[in-house]
Amino acid sequence: MNNFQFWSPTEFIFGKGTENETGKYVKKHGGSKVLLHYGGGSAERSGLLGRVRASLEGCGIKYVELGGVKPNPRDTLVYEGIDVCRREGIDFILAVGGGSVIDSAKAIAMGVPYDGDFWDFYTIKDPDEALPVGTVLTIAAAGSEGSGDSVITKEDGGLKRGAGSDVLRPRFSILDPELTCTLPAYQTACGATDIMAHVFERYFTNTKEVEITDRLCEAVLLTMIRETPIAVAQPDNYDARANIMWAGMVAHNNIVGVGREQDWNSHGIEHELSALYDCAHGAGLAVIMPAWMEYVCKHDAARFAQVAVRVWGCQMDYFDPEKTAREGIKRFRSFLHSIGMPINFAELGAKEEDIPKLVEKFGLGGGETGGFVHLTSADIAEIYKIAAKAQL
Amino acid sequence: MNNFQFWSPTEFIFGKGTENETGKYVKKHGGSKVLLHYGGGSAERSGLLGRVRASLEGCGIKYVELGGVKPNPRDTLVYEGIDVCRREGIDFILAVGGGSVIDSAKAIAMGVPYDGDFWDFYTIKDPDEALPVGTVLTIAAAGSEGSGDSVITKEDGGLKRGAGSDVLRPRFSILDPELTCTLPAYQTACGATDIMAHVFERYFTNTKEVEITDRLCEAVLLTMIRETPIAVAQPDNYDARANIMWAGMVAHNNIVGVGREQDWNSHGIEHELSALYDCAHGAGLAVIMPAWMEYVCKHDAARFAQVAVRVWGCQMDYFDPEKTAREGIKRFRSFLHSIGMPINFAELGAKEEDIPKLVEKFGLGGGETGGFVHLTSADIAEIYKIAAKAQL
């Protein structure tokens, strides 16, 4: 096991009706004038924003609103948010929405106290400070409610890049599973795929003897395999929604990833898809992740066999572990298909002829990217090709 | 799943040599004058205290020392610590040791700003505030390095009672697995038993549909089953020590227990044993926990069968789940025996004729205690009797 530092200071308030306590927690965590940040109309139509506003007002907290966050959130709205916060003397940012809204809120939070361009934190440096952020989560997927990560897309050129620092971890996050009961099956499945991908990116490691985090990863995956089909078939099943919502936090606050090298190449390879086609991140991952697994499986067939047996219930072939490993990947793809996810480019709406463009945007040039298996541009192209043609 | 609040704001610094950074983290978390709190001579002899002192001095942090914490830490030393802190203007308490030292530090931390008797927090009320506490952990067992709990024994009468509040959670905890490589096999096994008990106390619940926390509990148990025999046989196996040390934190900061009713009667029943005989808490749990399981198993055989299959590798008897359930309990007791733990009163050094005294000290009178199964004094006596006579 490697040395590590782990700090997850977010206060989580979980369960039915907890959004009505938003004001209390903003106050507890030092907010007096809030930027209320959200996305499109669904939070308004559902009455959620109304309940959050009422809770803020009930606690005497002033707020300024900034809606309009889109999936794959853009730098342009972040610049606008930074201006609003400076002009209005905002001291706390409250994100009401899913990962996109929270990521946008974190970008604004870093940008406000920074003299330079906030995009620096997505390209060349880490932030030293940020305004405090709180969240009211509406989609179980990104895990941004408990993480120190943020992903933003540059409108000009479609570059999608990530920033990460403990200063970005939310001060509090309110998780009411009932808010996710209205999510359509497709979005539910996209979120579940993202959650499972967050685990797999940590699971495939070259670090030896990390049994505790291996087992915690498997715990989240087994939960998702049990609960996702329930939530897809019965959208208003509260317990399935609750298990998935908490699993989504656990999958990405890094408690399942400490002490080990991690990969994250599938996320990088997927980001080019969602940046180019504006498809859902989870749908892109459903196409990319099994393809990446097939491409790198030989590197450590024992690790792939372990997850095949422990998570996918495969019988171990003691004489041919790679066979077991590949059976596990096959079951993962079948599972994704069963919950309604695309499994190849055609189903995603991507085009095989765009592969050279995707590889170029990935930006390795003649270099390589690190991780479980180091990848060159040629490797990335091969993974896109496997993804393009994949079948059950 | 039940509504819950979860806040684990402790910063964890994990790995080889991390104790040399103690001063830096005291400073980061606001300490300028420290009470350096520890136990007996082993932390001195090993050179650990010397390294911690050097680290504090290197950061210009003043400190006053208070050693002498005993296993099953006493109220008498807590009163002394409170006096020292008030007299010396201490603003941060640094515990260097295992659960006893950390629990004593937390008691002092609550007592300093409180006008009344600190024992109130162990009997009639919760604390509103406490001095900040940091820890340098030397034994993987109690999980106090990440929890908001503290257990103290009243010298006069031997009453052992617990306090709990998020204000008691350490600001930082330094976990260097190498510090545990000198622990004898017996203490290692006692610690492992305590860690597993912390999981089981959460696992046996009447709350339905808590798959994520079930799975996380099982992850910790499976890790302990793999790693404990390695650490017992090869005390200086770093990776086994590292997996156990982190599992010990995960087992008790409540990430594996949120959203569900918990039990904790085995801990209560054991506390009377360690209070009366001053035996190791883990050894007492090894005797009590399987006995408790046998006594309550019928209440929810399906839940016991689940852990038997998922954790102990039993074959499910679909026609007689209770048979599988009991086979799992048997394997748990065999496992405890295999790592050198006592499994009955004789092996622990307890006496069957003391059972009436133990039951009386438990203090239920004609009432009952809640949990997975509600227990009366007569039930407690039966559990002690099963524990007294238990065999493999």
A330-358 pLDDT, tens digit each: 999 999 999 999 999 999 999 999 999 99
Which residues, other chains included, contact B67 with Cβ-Cβ below 8 Å and sequence gap of 6+?
A: B37, B38, B39, B40, B44
pLDDT band at A205 (very low <50, low <70, confident <90, very high): very high
pLDDT band at A360 (very low <50, low <70, confident <90, very high): very high
pLDDT surpassing 90 at residue A40: no
Instruction: Give the count of beta carbons closer than 10 Å to the beta carbon of residue A60.
Output: 9
d(CA B264, CA B283): 16
pLDDT surpassing 90 at residue A62: yes
Instruction: Report whether B3 contacts B38 (CB < 8 A).
Output: no
pLDDT surpassing 90 at residue B10: yes
Q: Report pLDDT for A198.
A: 98
In 3-state terms, what secondary structure has residue A146? coil
Question: Which of B211, B240, B259 is closest, CB to CB, to A14?
Answer: B259
Residue count (chain A): 392
Q: Name which residue leads in pLDDT, A274 or B314.
A: B314
Please list every residue in chain B whose beta carbon sits closer than 8 Å to the beta carbon of residue A258: 14, 246
pLDDT band at B219 (very low <50, low <70, confident <90, very high): very high
Parallel, antiparallel, or unpaired for β B133-137 and B172-175?
Answer: parallel
Q: Report pLDDT for B352.
A: 98
The residue among A3, A196, A212 with the most chain B CBs within 10 A of its CB, best to mutate, is A212
Please list every residue in chain A whose beta carbon sits closer than 8 Å to the beta carbon of residue B238: 1
Read off the tokens for A328: 């596990």
pLDDT band at B278 (very low <50, low <70, confident <90, very high): confident
For chain A, give the mean pLDDT.
97
Q: Report pLDDT for A30.
A: 97
CA neighbor of A350 nearest in space, from A294, A288, A266, A289: A288
For the segment B106-119, the average pLDDT, to the nearest whole number, is: 98
DSSP string, A209-260: --HHHHHHHHHHHHHHHHHHHHHHH-TT-HHHHHHHHHHHHHTTSSTTTTTS
Q: Contact B215/A223, CB-based, under 8 Å?
A: yes
Q: Report pLDDT for A85.
A: 98
Amino acid at A193: T
Q: Report pLDDT for B165.
A: 96
Q: Report pLDDT for A32.
A: 97
Which residues, other chains included, contact A115 with Cβ-Cβ below 8 Å and sequence gap of 6+?
A: none
Q: What is the DSSP letter of A74?
A: B
The residue among A20, A199, A246 with the most chain B CBs within 10 A of its CB, best to mutate, is A246
pLDDT band at B41 (very low <50, low <70, confident <90, very high): confident
pLDDT surpassing 90 at residue B72: no
d(CA B204, CA B191): 20
Read off the tokens for B210: 């808590």
Amino acid at A109: A
Which residues, other chains included, contact B60 with Cβ-Cβ below 8 Å and sequence gap of 6+?
A: none
Please list every residue in chain A whose beta carbon sits closer than 8 Å to the beta carbon of residue B6: 11-12, 14
User: Which residues on neighbouring strands pair with residue B149, listed in sequence order?
Assistant: B164
pTM of the model: 0.97
Rg (CA), chain B: 20
Could you tell me the CA-to-CA distances from A195 to A97, A250, A260, A311, B177 in Å, in that order? Answer: 17, 9, 19, 15, 30
| B355 φ, ψ (degrees, to nearest 5) | -55, -45
Please list every residue in chain B whose beta carbon sits closer than 8 Å to the beta carbon of residue A226: 211
CA neighbor of A95 nearest in space, from A141, A45, A132: A132
DSSP string, B30-66: T-SEEEEEE-SSHHHHTTHHHHHHHHHHHTT-EEEEE
pLDDT surpassing 90 at residue A54: yes
Read off the tokens for A228: 């996702």
Instruction: Report whether B242 contacts B12 (CB < 8 A).
Output: no
Q: Contact B246/A227, CB-based, under 8 Å?
A: no
For the segment A13-22, the average pLDDT, to the nearest whole number, is: 98
For the segment B279-298, the average pLDDT, to the nearest whole number, is: 97
For the segment A112-132, the average pLDDT, to the nearest whole number, is: 97
For the segment B331-338, the average pLDDT, to the nearest whole number, is: 98
User: Which residues on neighbouring strands pair with residue B175, listed in sequence order?
Assistant: B14, B137
Which residues, other chains included, contact A287 with Cβ-Cβ below 8 Å and sequence gap of 6+?
A: A270, A273, A342, A343, A344, A345, A347, A348, A350, A387, A390
Count helices and strands in chain A by DSSP H and E runs: 15, 11
pLDDT surpassing 90 at residue A158: no
For chain B, give the mean pLDDT.
97
Q: How many CB pairs under 8 A join A and B?
A: 132
Q: Angle CA(B115)–CA(B116)–CA(B117) in degrees, nearest 5?
A: 135
d(CA A362, CA A355): 10
